[in-house]
Amino acid sequence: MTSAAQSANSNAKQAARSRPVKIAARVGILAYGITHLLIGGLALQVAFGQGGEQADQTGAFQALAQQPYGPPLLWVLAVGFVAAALWRAELAVWGYSYVSDTKKVVRKKAVSAVKAVVFVALAVLAATTASGGGGGGGGQQQATAGVFGLPGGPFLVGLAGLVVLVVGVVKVVEGYRKKFLEEMDAPSDRHARTVLERVGQVGNIAKGVSIGLIGILIGVAALRHDPAEATGLDAALKGLAAQPYGPYLLMVVAVGIVAYGVFCFFDARYHRV
C-alpha cells in the first residue's frame, strides 16, 4: 500500500471514529428505536382492526410526516441513520479488534455491513418521505420479479427466503440468550440492568419473529412462483392478523416491536461506539 493510500485509510478511519460521528451514531440508534415504536403502534392498530397505514418503515415515516413538525423530525432521523450507517461501516472494516475469535470477528463484521446497508436504506426512505415523496412499497415485489426471470430464479428466491428465515431464528435465539449484552456497557445498577435484559430479550425475540415472517412470505412466493407474495413486514403482520387467534398473536408481536424500540433507547445509551 502506498503512503498516500495509507494516509487516506488512516484519515478515513480517524474520521469514522471521531467523537461527532459516535454521538451521531447514538442518535441513529435512537432514530431506529423511534421507528420501531411507530411500527409497533401501527401494528397494534392492525390488531384492533383500525390499520389504515402500512405497518412498516414506510407507513411509520408517512404517519410521522403528517404530524406537526414531522418533516423536520424526519430529516433529523435521516441524518441519524446516515451517521449510524457510517459507524456500522467503520465496524465492518476496522471494528471488533477486542474479539479474539477470528470466526466471530468475521460474523460480526458481516452483520455490521448488512446493518450499514439497512441504515442507508432507512436514511433514503426518511429523506424521501420528508421531502414529500411517496416512499411506496413495491420495490421488494419488483426485485423478486426480476430474480424470477433469471435462470433458477424461483430457487434463488426460495434460498433468499430461507436465509431471511434463518436470520430471524438466529435473532430470536440471540435475544433469548441475551447476546445483545456483548456489545453494550450495561449499567452497574442491578435494577436497571434487569430492565435492560428483559426489554432486550422481548424486543429482540419479537424482531426475530417479524424477520422470520418476511422470510416465510418470500419462501411462499418461491413455491407459488408469484412475486406478489414476496411482500414485506406490513403484509407479514396483516397476514398474521388474518389467522385464527391472529389479532391476539399480532398484539403480542406488536408489543414486542415496541419493546425493541424501547430497547434501542437503552442501546443508544449503552452500546459501545
Q: Would you give per-residue pLDDT tens digits along the chain (273 residues)?
A: 566 555 555 555 565 566 777 788 888 899 889 988 988 888 888 888 776 667 778 878 888 888 888 888 899 889 889 988 888 888 888 878 777 788 888 988 898 898 898 899 889 988 998 888 655 555 555 555 556 566 666 777 778 888 889 988 999 999 999 999 988 888 888 898 999 999 999 999 998 988 888 888 777 777 776 665 556 677 777 777 777 777 888 888 888 889 999 999 999 988 877
Contact 234, 54 (CB under 8 A): yes
- pTM for this entry: 0.79
Provide the pLDDT for residue 203: 92
Q: What is the pLDDT of residue 177?
A: 94
- Report how far residue 122's alpha carbon sits from residue 85's, in angstroms, rounded to the nearest whole number: 10
Tell me, what's the pLDDT at 4? 57
Residue 178 is predicted with a pLDDT of: 93
Nearest to 59 by CA among 170, 134, 157, 160: 134
Q: What is the pLDDT of residue 153?
A: 66
pLDDT in the model for residue 199:
93
Angstrom CA distances, 37 to 5, 31, 142, 248, stand at 43, 10, 28, 19
Model pLDDT, residue 15: 57
Is the Cα dihedral 164, 170, 174, 177 positive or negative? positive
At 62 the pLDDT is 84
Residues paired with 184 in a beta bridge = 271
